[in-house]
Chains A and B, each alone.
Chain A
Amino acid sequence: MFEAIAFYTFSAITIVMFTITVMSKNALYSMSALAAGMIIISGFFFLLDADFLGVVQIIVYTGAVMALYAFGMMFFDTTREVKESIRAPKLVFLLSGMSALLLVIALVAPIVSDHIEPLYPVVEGVENPQAVGIVLFTKYLVPFEVAAVMLLVAMISGIILAGKKMDKSLTLKTDGEDEFQNGGSK
């Protein structure tokens, strides 16, 4: 009974949150609703006894959405509404609505016809992190390593792009130092 109550509560909150994310014109509302929705999703993992994945969901999305806030802070005045020019083309709504419906049907179909089988069922006595680790380092080793290499590449390129003046601290610079260095005068 508790599981059912929890499931429907979490589902309702998630749907409301993501609706706000899409519908709101205020960037701060959207981002906060996104963060809340992402964290509420971890509740489903906890309901399925996948504690590890639930916690990972919280940790990963806390940091990820936090970085999104940083962008929001730099690009918008987040306390004001963003002016959007929505012309409401009916065709776009129809097509995106249809594809969303198709997606839901495609995902729900195997559940309705009972043709769903767990490939890696939870084994008694093996804890969550171990189970994830075993699958990750045997069957999915290559995608895992490729993802790691991609992240490394992204990190190095990020450092190269952003780190040209990293050895000089901006906060230690006194006012007008730039002008002196460039030989200019006021």
Chain B
Amino acid sequence: MTLTEFVIATVVKILVVLGLFSALAGFGTYLERKVLAFMQRRLGPMHVGPYGVLQVLADGIKLFTKEDIVPQNSVKPIFMIAPVIGAATAFIALAAVPLFPEFEIFGITVHPIISDVNVGVLFVLGVMASGLYAPLLAGMASANKWGLLGAARTVIQLLSYEVVTGLSIMAPLMMVGSLSLIDINNYQSGGFGDWIVWAQPVAFVLFLIAGFAETNRTPFDLLEHEAEIISGYATEYSGMRWGMFFIGEYANMITIAFLASLIFLGGFNDWGFIPGGLAIILKVSFLFFFFLWTRAAWPHIRPDQLMWLCWKILLPLAVINIVITGLVLMI
């Protein structure tokens, strides 16, 4: 492939990923409201369009046309840049995720990954972690007590879950012997029985729990816990700046769903008669639904309970899991 082709291909991939995933993130809000509504025996959005599908568009118009308020005493440049960090890091993290198996279109073989970094897993997790700077900076810059509390909770949340995420994927990585997501995917190419989740069930559960904390979803949505701190870091935000936080949050949910499917659930290998591309869409959709399901089923927890859970329960479990995996691998 020549340099020009490479540049064009990369730019096209970037545009497709950006467009597709911001649309999916918007549509995710509709799905979330619908799923929550059915679980709570309500109807959810019904009025705009058939079955309320166009509610997303109506919300989009509202967000784009709403006045962009920057509070007088806030630190203005940082207040304004914080939501951009949230959305940007979510999409940068997607750059190293192989989304689908290779396919051919118009006679050109397409690798659906923007940049094949050979330490893909670490890159995705690291960039997603730096995405937590968005709520932190937003909360600290907005000169608001609730915002500041939200920012403080961001710090403890990052310091709690970060260790668990790293240690939980360590055991599967030891089995595969590579940090590249494509290698991890190929390791499980033997079919249903080869999925790493059967060998590493504990690591899978730990990774999912840490993923909930990473995307600040219920039960770990301490940063914007309505009942306690109004809207946390986002209290002072309105319009599209507020919208960007949520595009970032939903894109992160999709990224975590992709990571969990790639590392533990067989990735984009063919699953019986289901082709690989469809298989990974099914897995990601199920995990996305799982996020919403948990939100409907579980209450919030307190910050001290989160720290207690992460440091006293999950961390020792993850370390024990690594030691056992190491022993099994050596023998």
Contacts and interface: CB of A to CB of B under 8 A. Distances in A.
Interface of A: 26, 28-29, 32, 35, 39, 51-52, 55-56, 58-59, 62-63, 66-67, 69-70, 72-73, 78-79, 127-129, 169-171
A137 to B, nearest CB: 15
B158 A66 contact: yes
A78 B178 CA distance: 42
Contacts of A69: 136, 140, 151, 155
6 contacts: A55-B122, A62-B126, A62-B133, A66-B132, A66-B136, A79-B140
Contacts of A171: 302-304
A79 B141 contact: yes
B99 interface: no
Given A58-B130, A63-B129, A79-B143, A127 B78 contact: no
B297 interface: no
A32 B130 CA distance: 12
Interface of B: 73-75, 77-78, 117-119, 122-123, 125-127, 129-130, 132-133, 136-137, 140-141, 143, 148, 151-152, 155, 158-159, 162, 166, 178-179, 302-304
Contact of A62 (B77, B129, B179, B302): B129
For B119, B143, B178, B304, the residue with the greatest tally of chain A CB atoms inside 10 Å of its CB is B119
Contacts of B77: 29
B125 to A, nearest CB: 7
Nearest to B77: A29
A52 to B, nearest CB: 5
A186 B133 CA distance: 44
A28 B140 contact: yes
A117 to B, nearest CB: 26
A170 B127 contact: no
Given A55-B122, A70-B152, A63 B162 contact: yes
B129 A127 contact: no
Contacts of B166: 59
Contact of A29 (B74, B78, B117, B159): B78
A66 B151 CA distance: 10
A128 B75 contact: no
B75 A26 contact: yes
A41 B248 CA distance: 24
Contacts of B141: 28, 78-79
Nearest to B158: A66
B127 A58 contact: yes
Given A51-B117, A66-B132, A128-B119, A28 B75 contact: yes
Contact of A55 (B73, B126, B143, B178): B126
Nearest to A28: B75
Contacts of A32: 78, 133, 137
Contacts of A62: 126, 129-130, 132-133, 158
Nearest to A70: B155
Nearest to A58: B126
A59 B93 CA distance: 13
A32 B139 CA distance: 13
Given A39-B130, A55-B123, A171-B304, A127 B118 contact: yes
B261 to A, nearest CB: 21
A13 B123 CA distance: 21
Contact of B159 (A63, A78, A79, A170): A63
Contacts of B125: 59
Contacts of A169: 304
B119 A66 contact: no
A73 B125 CA distance: 26
Given A63-B162, A73-B152, A171-B304, A79 B75 contact: yes
Contacts of A79: 73-75, 140-141, 143
B152 A55 contact: no
Contacts of B123: 51, 55, 58
B115 to A, nearest CB: 10
Contact of A35 (B133, B148, B178): B133
Given A69-B140, A70-B155, A128 B130 contact: no
Given A73-B140, A73-B151, 14 more contacts: A28-B75, A28-B137, A28-B141, A32-B133, A35-B133, A51-B118, A63-B129, A66-B158, A78-B141, A79-B74, A127-B178, A128-B118, A170-B304, A171-B304
